[in-house]
């Protein structure tokens, strides 16, 4: 015997099938910003998914739509639709019967009076009235038809509660149709009983579907799919009854006995509900809702609305992503499309793809401690974005490209960089070919060589620089909103040196109550430090040690701070703190600054804040070592630090402009004066 095979096709769920992969640049910028503000990468990613992007709805907007849809359903509907229809049909039957009794001249007066008395004394309850008229011998054919329609309506509504679409399918049903329904219910209860006992087989399910498959247009593929669909609707039907008033519920229970004029139907349906609840006890069988609308719902339609409400509750929980280990894959896109439309499902799918690309595409990685963190690749991408922002802020250079162009001597430095439009430097062929080979490993179908693979040789004549960037990590930096700009600045400078000036030696030093050498990942992920203290002395000690390790390089000292030194390192290694600053603390910081000068360091202080006392102190420190003080706005801090670094390197080049502000002004014109902050020579 040939086995029948079923095939199922799924409706296309939207989106552009030819669209490019999701763009991570906006997500990475937002995540990096939050990480630098102190968020964990995991939380930062979650926050971006919640907010969404400039042209992308996030989880919060989808959740708002879900809540709005839920309020709409509850505010639009009422649950007495079936009772209203029963009342209307009952009133129609009684009215037609009264008309017939009045017209029938051949009827015995006593018989007429008895019938009118029965009709006049019907109970006010529709259920009791329908029961009272069960044995009434109708004289009007229209009245009899209306009364029989009540029983037919109740039967179809009760079936529609359990099997969606049965109300329409059973309209005008014959006795043979009703018998087929009773047979299906009996076989279904037998199958579910076997399932509960663990005795069912695939053959049992196939035999059932071959016999009764027309009742299940959703075409379940096994008994569990059948069970899930039936149990979800049955649970919704129970929640609908729970949502009714006690009077409505009592009326329907009494009316149900009249369905199709067949008490056996109610017995079968009761057994079905019991089987489903026993097999799926995890569903919500006891919940209820408060409806406040005026549009009456029948039993079947009301059950559908309760199913919609259950779907919306599930979606609200999925979109909340509140459970540990929640993923965007938890969101049911089919359910979202049913409730909010295809556009919402496309938005959610894009968020799924974003999360997957962030987790699996080299942006986030799980460290040895089990926590997510930004990968080096992600740090480079974020640094490039920050450096691009710095370059835009330095756009006053009228298109000059002296960071990239060859020097007058035309000597090759050994460093390379990615080709940009307008470059005339010679290609570095080995690195260009290697880039193409590495790219084709990931994408064998791509071209052998792409313009993105090309690297050119830098031929600028320059000396090596040994750079120490000292960033204040004290309490006031976090309190006054300078935490993130400080980190952005460090990452921009780190990216510039690692990508354009690879021969330079950069060390990042954070100083609060004490100082610490940090790698860029550690600094960008650093939480706000609430210990009071600004230990410039310790930071300068570490910077000078860095300079001594590279005696042939030009020392460049860059200090970002918003306060005077208030702590120092004692001989014992203990930290001493005093506010106002102790003279010994000042003296030790000045001594180490003098040591930096003796090693030839080009020094720039970046003063944050408007404290006049701090301005005078830093100005004196800068003048002492023939350095300079820059007072940038927070948004321009990165551009100021990068510009100072480039100017310090220019001062050390053969034929350079020399130290001090003259070199900077020669390199950058009046850019500093036009960017919202002032400079002291």
| pLDDT (tens digit per residue) in 190-246 | 999 999 999 999 999 999 999 998 888 888 999 999 999 999 999 998 998 898 888
Q: Is residue 16 part of a domain?
A: no
Q: Is residue 148 part of a domain?
A: yes
Q: Are residues 65 and 128 in the same domain?
A: no
Dig out the tokens for 23 from the structure.
Answer: 């763009």
pLDDT score for 422: 58
Q: What is the DSSP string of 307-356?
A: HHHHHHHHHHHHHHT-STT--GGGS-HHHHHHHH-HHHHHHHHHHHHHHH
Cα 185–188–190 angle (5° rounding)? 110
Q: Are residues 262 and 334 in the same domain?
A: no
* pLDDT band at 662; cut points 50, 70, 90: very low
Contact (Cβ atoms closer than 8 angstroms) between residue 442 and residue 461: no
* pLDDT band at 38; cut points 50, 70, 90: low
Average pLDDT over residues 242-256: 86
Number of other residues whose CB lies within 10 A of the CB of residue 108: 9
Domain end, chosen from 290, 325, 355, is at 290
Contact (Cβ atoms closer than 8 angstroms) between residue 596 and residue 543: yes
The Cα 222–Cα 204 span in angstroms is: 10
Contact (Cβ atoms closer than 8 angstroms) between residue 307 and residue 233: yes
Q: Is residue 460 part of a domain?
A: no
Q: Are residues 58 and 89 in the same domain?
A: no
pLDDT top residue among 42 and 245:
245
Dig out the tokens for 40 from the structure.
Answer: 């964990």
Instruction: Summarize pLDDT for 608-617 with one digit per residue, the tens.
Output: 988 888 889 9
pLDDT score for 412: 61
The Cα 665–Cα 382 span in angstroms is: 29
Contact (Cβ atoms closer than 8 angstroms) between residue 119 and residue 69: no
Dig out the tokens for 563 from the structure.
Answer: 């306060």
Dig out the tokens for 658 from the structure.
Answer: 């020399």
Whether residue 267 is predicted with pLDDT greater than 90 in this model: the reply is no
Distances (CA, A) of 73 to 289, 339, 344: 11, 11, 18
Q: Is residue 33 part of a domain?
A: yes
DSSP type of residue 20: P
Q: How many domains does the chain have?
A: 3
Q: Is residue 321 part of a domain?
A: yes
The Cα 28–Cα 316 span in angstroms is: 26
pLDDT score for 311: 92
Instruction: Summarize pLDDT for 152-167 with one digit per residue, the tens.
Output: 888 888 888 888 888 8
Q: Are residues 667 and 543 in the same domain?
A: yes
Q: Is residue 250 part of a domain?
A: yes
The chain-wide mean pLDDT, for the chain, equals 82
Determine what percent of the chain is predicted with pLDDT higher than 70: 85
* pLDDT band at 251; cut points 50, 70, 90: confident
Q: Are residues 214 and 340 in the same domain?
A: no
**CATH code of the domain containing 570:** 3.40.50.410
Q: Is residue 212 part of a domain?
A: yes
Q: Are residues 133 and 33 in the same domain?
A: no
Domain that holds residue 105: 80-290
The Cα 618–Cα 615 span in angstroms is: 5
Instruction: Summarize pLDDT for 295-326 with one digit per residue, the tens.
Output: 888 888 888 888 899 899 999 999 988 887 78
* pLDDT band at 370; cut points 50, 70, 90: low
Q: Are residues 360 and 509 in the same domain?
A: no
Q: Are residues 281 and 327 in the same domain?
A: no
Q: Are residues 571 and 651 in the same domain?
A: yes
Dig out the tokens for 24 from the structure.
Answer: 């991570």
- pTM of the predicted model as reported, rounded to 2 decimal places: 0.63
Q: Is residue 615 part of a domain?
A: yes
pLDDT score for 668: 30
Q: Are residues 514 and 499 in the same domain?
A: yes
Grouping H, G, I as helix, E, B as strand and the rest as coil, residue 411 is coil
Whether residue 69 is predicted with pLDDT greater than 80 in this model: the reply is yes
Cβ within 8 Å of residue 431, ≥6 positions away: 416, 455
DSSP type of residue 480: T
Q: Are residues 204 and 316 in the same domain?
A: no
Q: Are residues 115 and 62 in the same domain?
A: no
pLDDT score for 654: 44
Of the candidates 67, 57, 16, which has an alpha carbon nearest to the alpha carbon of residue 339?
A: 67
């Amino acid at each position: 015997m040939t086995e029948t095979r079923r095939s199922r096709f799924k409706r296309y769920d939207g989106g552009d099938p030819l669209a490019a992969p999701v763009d991570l640049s906006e997500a990475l910028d937002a995540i990096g910003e939050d990480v630098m503000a102190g968020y964990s990468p995991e939380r930062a990613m979650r926050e971006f998914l919640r907010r969404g992007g400039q042209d992308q709805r996030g989880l919060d907007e989808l959740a708002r739509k879900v809540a709005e849809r839920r309020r709409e359903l509850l505010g639009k509907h009422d649950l007495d639709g079936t009772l209203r229809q029963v009342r209307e049909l009952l009133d129609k039957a009684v009215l037609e019967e009264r008309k017939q009794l009045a017209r029938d001249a051949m009827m015995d007066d006593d018989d007429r009076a008895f019938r009118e008395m029965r009709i006049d004394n019907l109970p006010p309850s529709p259920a009791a009235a329908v029961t009272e008229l069960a044995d009434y011998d109708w004289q009007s054919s229209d009245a009899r038809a209306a009364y029989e329609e009540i029983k037919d309506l109740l039967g179809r509504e009760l079936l529609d509660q359990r099997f969606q679409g049965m109300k329409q399918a059973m309209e005008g049903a014959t006795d043979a149709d009703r018998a087929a329904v009773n047979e299906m219910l009996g076989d279904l209860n037998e199958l579910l009983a076997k399932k509960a006992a663990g005795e069912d087989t695939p053959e049992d399910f196939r035999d059932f579907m071959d016999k009764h498959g027309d009742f299940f247009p959703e075409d379940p593929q096994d008994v569990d799919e059948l069970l899930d669909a039936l149990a979800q609707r049955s649970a919704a039907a129970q929640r609908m009854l729970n949502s009714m008033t006690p009077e409505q519920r009592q009326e329907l229970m009494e009316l149900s006995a009249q369905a199709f004029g067949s008490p056996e139907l109610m017995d079968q349906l009761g057994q079905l509900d019991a089987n489903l609840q026993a097999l799926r006890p995890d569903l919500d069988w006891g919940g209820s809702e408060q409806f406040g609308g005026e549009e009456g719902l029948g039993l079947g339609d009301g059950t559908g609305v309760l199913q919609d409400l259950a779907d919306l509750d599930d979606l609200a929980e999925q979109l909340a992503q509140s459970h540990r280990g929640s993923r965007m894959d938890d969101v049911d896109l089919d359910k979202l499309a049913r409730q909010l439309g295809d556009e919402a499902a496309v938005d959610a799918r894009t968020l799924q793809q974003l999360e997957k690309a962030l987790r699996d595409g080299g942006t986030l990685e799980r460290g040895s401690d089990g926590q997510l963190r930004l990968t080096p690749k992600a740090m480079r991408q974020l640094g490039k974005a920050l450096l691009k922002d710095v370059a835009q802020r330095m756009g006053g250079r009228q298109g000059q490209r002296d960071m990239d162009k060859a020097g007058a001597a035309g000597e090759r430095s050994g460093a390379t960089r990615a080709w940009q439009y307008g470059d005339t430097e010679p290609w570095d062929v080995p690195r260009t070919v290697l880039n193409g080979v590495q790219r084709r490993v990931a994408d064998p179908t791509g071209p052998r060589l792409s313009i993105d693979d090309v690297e050119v040789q830098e031929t600028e004549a320059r000396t090596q620089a040994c750079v120490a960037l000292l960033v204040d990590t004290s309490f006031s930096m976090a309190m006054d909103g300078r935490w993130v700009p400080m980190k952005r600045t460090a990452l921009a400078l780190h990216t510039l040196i690692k990508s354009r000036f690879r021969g330079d030696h950069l060390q990042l030093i954070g100083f609060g109550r004490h100082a610490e050498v940090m790698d860029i990942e550690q600094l960008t992920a650093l939480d706000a430090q609430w210990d009071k203290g600004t230990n410039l002395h310790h930071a300068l000690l570490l910077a000078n040690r860095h300079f001594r390790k590279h005696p042939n390089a030009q020392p460049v000292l860059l200090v970002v701070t918003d306060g005077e030194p208030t702590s120092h390192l004692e001989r014992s290694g203990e930290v001493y703190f005093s506010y106002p600053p102790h003279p010994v603390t000042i003296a030790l910081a000045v001594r180490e600054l003098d040591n930096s000068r003796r090693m030839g360091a080009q020094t720039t202080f970046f003063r944050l804040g408007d404290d006049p006392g701090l301005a005078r102190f830093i100005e004196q420190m800068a003048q002492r070592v023939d350095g300079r003080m820059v007072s940038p706005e927070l948004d321009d801090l990165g551009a100021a630090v990068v510009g100072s670094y480039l100017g310090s390197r220019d001062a050390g080049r053969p034929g350079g402009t020399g130290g001090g502000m003259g070199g900077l002004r020669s390199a950058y014109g009046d850019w500093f004066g036009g960017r919202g902050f002032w400079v002291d020579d």
